[in-house]
Amino acid sequence: MTSTAHRTADRPTQGAARSATKPAEPPAEKTSAETAPAQAADTVGQIERLARRIRLRAVRMIAPHGFGYLGQALSAAETIATLHTGFFRPGTDRFVCSPGHYIITAYAAAAEAGVLADTELARYGQDGSEIEAIGTERSPGTDLTCGSLAQGLSGGAGFALADRLRGAEGTRRTFVLVSDGEVEEGQTWEAALYAAHHRLGDLVVLLDANDSQVDGPVSSLTTVEPLAEKWRSFGWYAEDVDGHDPVQLLHALEKAVADPRPGVVIARTSTTHGLSCLPPEADGHFIKMPAGLAELALGELADDHA
């Protein structure tokens, strides 16, 4: 004889029957707090890959000549990669390359964006080529690049003011790449004063502080520090960061573009960063790269997508 307890155990309870027929709940959507770390990690990965590609393209450009302005691309690669990962809007925003010898970085970024073909980059520094080693008024990849140093911020302020006069303020940004050597010159500070006075909030400076110029380390020639405090005293929003750290660059640029004042991101960098094969005595301002060293550099930077 089967006991009542056994019969009860053989039958599903009323609650169990209901749960067996109830449709499965859809998986809960992840909150923004849960997805943010993964998104941030993906963005950082994009920046790191783009910075590596910028360096690789720069080495390819100077390798046939055996020398060139490679150090500027090595120092500014993460800054420019961050700019092109969620901040710079092609066709809307403007990019000013104030130090003309940094144009190699703009060329590399433009090639990654599909604006310049590899065949065009291959003519870097050749006679008659628009891909000149020092930027000119016809250089692709920028809205303005300058011959004499320290003129770019004046041009950038002019762009931002023109947008205001046209009624386009708040719809486009002007990003100006400036070198730390350029802050030795008075025109940079005149433009900084002007931009702050007129509250040109669509203007953002990317200051590549690599402590390098043709005469030697900037710090050995002129005391430009403390940079952040000086810009703030002029009325700018200023962030001082490790220019090879994408996370710091992302946060700094986010704050700079959101602030109503003109903003400056001071990126502390090195003209040999990302290439361990460079000899310790390498002149970061104008790097000499014989064939053997170029081969090592290309091998170090090459990846599956090169």
User: For residue range 214-241, what is the model confidence (pLDDT) as tens digits?
Assistant: 888 999 999 999 999 999 999 999 999 9
- pLDDT attached to residue 40: 79
Q: What is the CATH number of the domain that holds 168?
A: 3.40.50.970
Rounded Cα distance, 288 and 66, in Å: 6
Q: 96 has which bridge partners?
A: 144, 176
- Asked if residue 23 belongs to a domain, the reply is no
Does 10 map to a domain?
Answer: no
Q: What is the pLDDT of residue 26?
A: 47
- Host H or E run for residue 98: strand 94-99
SS (H, E, C) 11-56: CCCHHHHHHHHCCCCCCCCCCHHHHHHHHHHHHHHHHHHHHHHHHH
pLDDT at residue 35 in the model? 42
**Structural domain contains residue 190:** yes
Q: CB burial class (10 A; 0-12, 13-18, 19+) of residue 192?
A: buried
Check pLDDT > 90 for residue 153: yes
User: Does residue 244 fall inside a structural domain?
Assistant: yes
Write down the pLDDT at residue 37: 61
Considering the chain, what percentage of its residues have pLDDT values greater than 70? 86
For residue 10, the model assigns a pLDDT of 42
Q: pLDDT band at 121, cuts 50/70/90? A: very high
Model pLDDT, residue 6: 40
**pLDDT given at position 258:** 98
CA 60-65-67 angle, 5° bins: 85
Q: How far apart are CA 145 and CA 138, in angstroms?
A: 9
Mean pLDDT in residue range 251-278: 98
Q: Which residue from 185, 188, 182 is spatially nearest to 212, judged by alpha carbons?
A: 182
Is there a domain that residue 260 lies in?
yes
From the list 103, 202, 112, 185, the residue with the least C-alpha distance to 144 is: 103
Helix count (H) and strand count (E) of the chain? 12, 8
Quick one: pLDDT at residue 70? 97
Q: What is the structure's pLDDT at 259? A: 98
Question: Is 201 a domain residue?
Answer: yes
68 lies in some domain: yes
Q: Does pLDDT of 3 surpass 70? A: no
> How many domains are there within the chain?
1
Residue 261 DSSP one-character state:
S
Does residue 172 carry a pLDDT above 90?
yes
Confidence (pLDDT) at 59: 98
Model confidence over 42-80: pLDDT tens digits?
A: 999 999 999 999 999 999 999 999 999 999 999 999 999
Check if the beta carbon of residue 239 is closer than 8 Å to that of residue 250: no
pLDDT above 80: residue 5: no
Which residues, including other chains, have CB under 8 Å from residue 257's CB and lie 6 or more apart?
A: 87, 173, 204, 263
**pLDDT tens figures, 73-116:** 999 999 999 999 999 999 999 999 999 999 999 999 999 999 99
> Has residue 233 been placed in a domain?
yes
167 pLDDT above the threshold of 80: yes
Q: Is 292 within 8 Å of 305 (Cβ atoms)?
A: no
pLDDT number for residue 23: 47
Q: pTM to 2 decimals?
A: 0.86
The beta strand positions in 180-236, using DSSP E, are: 203-209
Q: Which residue range is the domain that position 113 belongs to? A: 44-301
Residue 155 has pLDDT above 70, yes or no: yes
pLDDT at 38 > cutoff 80: no
